[in-house]
A and B are shown apart, each in its own frame.
Chain A
Amino acid sequence: AQSVTQLDSQVPVFEEAPVELRCNYSSSVSVYLFWYVQYPNQGLQLLLKYLSGSTLVKGINGFEAEFNKSQTSFHLRKPSVHISDTAEYFCAVSDLRNYGQNFVFGPGTRLSVLP
Chain B
Amino acid sequence: DAMVIQNPRYQVTQFGKPVTLSCSQTLNHNVMYWYQQKSSQAPKLLFHYYDKDFNNEADTPDNFQSRRPNTSFCFLDIRSPGLGDAAMYLCATSRDRGANVLTFGAGSRLTVL
Contact = CB atoms under 8 A, between A and B. Distances in A.
Contacts of A42: 106-107
A94 interface: yes
Given A42-B106, A43-B105, A101 B45 contact: yes
B58 interface: no
Interface stretch (A11-19, A61-69, A105-113): A105-113
Interface residues of A, number: 22
Q: How large is the interface on B (under 10, 10 to 19, 20 to 34, 35 or more residues)?
A: 20 to 34
Interface string B23-60: 00000000101000000111101001010000100000
B41 A100 contact: no
B105 A100 contact: no
Given A100-B98, A100-B99, A100-B100, A107 B107 contact: no
Nearest to A94: B100
Contacts of A107: 41-42
Given A41-B109, A105-B42, A105-B43, A51 B100 contact: yes
Given A107-B42, A108-B40, A101 B55 contact: yes
Interface of A: 32, 34, 36, 41-46, 49, 51, 90, 94, 99-101, 103, 105-108, 110
